Protein backbone atom coordinates (compact mmCIF):
# COMPACT_ATOMS: atom_id res chain seq x y z
CA UNK A 1 0.00 0.00 0.00
CA UNK A 2 2.35 2.68 -1.10
CA UNK A 3 1.06 6.24 -1.12
CA UNK A 4 1.37 6.47 -4.88
CA UNK A 5 -1.36 3.87 -5.46
CA UNK A 6 -3.95 5.89 -3.60
CA UNK A 7 -2.80 9.26 -4.82
CA UNK A 8 -5.49 11.90 -5.09
CA UNK A 9 -3.99 13.35 -8.25
CA UNK A 10 -4.39 10.07 -10.13
CA UNK A 11 -8.00 9.72 -8.96
CA UNK A 12 -8.87 13.22 -10.15
CA UNK A 13 -7.24 12.53 -13.52
CA UNK A 14 -9.16 9.25 -13.91
CA UNK A 15 -12.42 10.95 -12.90
CA UNK A 16 -11.98 13.67 -15.52
CA UNK A 17 -11.20 11.05 -18.16
CA UNK A 18 -14.30 9.08 -17.20
CA UNK A 19 -16.51 12.14 -17.52
CA UNK A 20 -14.87 13.17 -20.80
CA UNK A 21 -15.37 9.83 -22.52
CA UNK A 22 -18.92 9.56 -21.15
CA UNK A 23 -19.71 12.87 -22.83
CA UNK A 24 -17.91 11.67 -25.99
CA UNK A 25 -20.21 8.64 -26.01
CA UNK A 26 -23.20 10.96 -25.92
CA UNK A 27 -22.36 13.49 -28.55
CA UNK A 28 -21.55 10.77 -31.07
CA UNK A 29 -25.17 9.54 -31.14
CA UNK A 30 -26.81 12.41 -33.08
CA UNK A 31 -23.93 12.53 -35.59
CA UNK A 32 -25.64 9.97 -37.81
CA UNK A 33 -22.69 7.62 -38.16
CA UNK A 34 -23.38 4.23 -39.77
CA UNK A 35 -24.89 1.84 -37.22
CA UNK A 36 -21.95 -0.53 -36.87
CA UNK A 37 -19.42 2.29 -36.47
CA UNK A 38 -21.55 3.99 -33.83
CA UNK A 39 -21.99 0.72 -31.92
CA UNK A 40 -18.28 -0.06 -32.13
CA UNK A 41 -17.46 3.41 -30.80
CA UNK A 42 -19.94 3.06 -27.91
CA UNK A 43 -18.61 -0.38 -26.94
CA UNK A 44 -14.99 0.79 -27.07
CA UNK A 45 -15.89 3.70 -24.81
CA UNK A 46 -17.59 1.34 -22.35
CA UNK A 47 -14.53 -0.93 -22.30
CA UNK A 48 -12.25 2.08 -21.75
CA UNK A 49 -14.41 3.27 -18.86
CA UNK A 50 -14.51 -0.22 -17.35
CA UNK A 51 -10.75 -0.50 -17.74
CA UNK A 52 -10.14 2.84 -16.01
CA UNK A 53 -12.41 1.95 -13.10
CA UNK A 54 -10.90 -1.50 -12.59
CA UNK A 55 -7.29 -0.43 -13.09
CA UNK A 56 -7.23 2.76 -11.01
CA UNK A 57 -10.30 3.02 -8.76
CA UNK A 58 -10.10 -0.67 -7.84
CA UNK A 59 -6.31 -0.42 -8.39
CA UNK A 60 -6.08 -3.87 -9.88
CA UNK A 61 -3.23 -2.47 -11.97
CA UNK A 62 -1.05 -2.32 -8.89
CA UNK A 63 -1.84 -5.80 -7.59
CA UNK A 64 0.26 -8.91 -8.02
CA UNK A 65 0.06 -10.52 -11.46
CA UNK A 66 -1.44 -13.73 -10.04
CA UNK A 67 -4.40 -11.73 -8.69
CA UNK A 68 -4.81 -9.80 -11.95
CA UNK A 69 -4.98 -13.04 -13.93
CA UNK A 70 -7.32 -14.79 -11.50
CA UNK A 71 -9.75 -11.87 -11.81
CA UNK A 72 -9.52 -11.06 -15.50
CA UNK A 73 -9.18 -14.47 -17.17
CA UNK A 74 -12.56 -15.87 -15.99
CA UNK A 75 -14.24 -12.87 -17.62
CA UNK A 76 -13.44 -14.45 -21.00
CA UNK A 77 -16.34 -16.82 -20.22
CA UNK A 78 -18.77 -13.87 -20.24
CA UNK A 79 -17.52 -12.82 -23.67
CA UNK A 80 -17.81 -16.43 -24.83
CA UNK A 81 -21.41 -16.64 -23.61
CA UNK A 82 -22.34 -13.38 -25.29
CA UNK A 83 -20.70 -14.39 -28.57
CA UNK A 84 -22.34 -17.84 -28.49
CA UNK A 85 -25.82 -16.46 -27.78
CA UNK A 86 -25.57 -13.66 -30.32
CA UNK A 87 -24.28 -16.08 -32.96
CA UNK A 88 -27.07 -18.51 -32.18
CA UNK A 89 -29.63 -15.73 -32.23
CA UNK A 90 -28.56 -14.25 -35.55
CA UNK A 91 -28.00 -17.45 -37.51
CA UNK A 92 -30.76 -19.87 -36.55
CA UNK A 93 -33.83 -17.80 -35.96
CA UNK A 94 -33.66 -15.41 -38.86
Partner 1 sequence: MNHDAVLEQKKIMESEWGGGKAPFGVSWRKYMMWIFIVSDAFTFGAFLAAYGLFRVTSAGWPDTYEVFTAFPFIGVEAPMLFVAMMTFILICSSFTMALAVSASYKNDRTKALKFLGLTILGGSIFILCQVYEWYHIIHDGATMTSNPWGVPLFSATFFMITGFHGLHVLSGLILLTITALKVKRGFYERRGSYEGVEIVGLYWHFVDLVWVFVFTFFYLL
Provide the total of helices (H) and of strands (E) in the chain, helices listed first.
Answer: 4, 0
Site for partner 1 in 49-78 (CB under 8 A): 49-50, 53-54, 56-58, 63-64, 66-67, 70-71, 74-75, 77-78
- How far, in Å, CA of 86 to CA of 4, rounded? 42
27 CB-contact burial (10 Å; exposed 0-12 / middle 13-18 / buried 19+): exposed
Are 25 and 50 contacting, i.e. CB atoms less than 8 angstroms apart? Answer: no
Rule CB under 8 A: say whether 37 interacts with partner 1.
Answer: no
Cβ 75 to partner 1 shortest distance, Å = 6
Cβ 58 to partner 1 shortest distance, Å = 5
How many residues make contact with partner 1 (CB under 8 A)? 45
Amino acid sequence: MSKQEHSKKVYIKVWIWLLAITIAGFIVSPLGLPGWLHNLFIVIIALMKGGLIVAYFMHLKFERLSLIYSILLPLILIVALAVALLYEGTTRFL
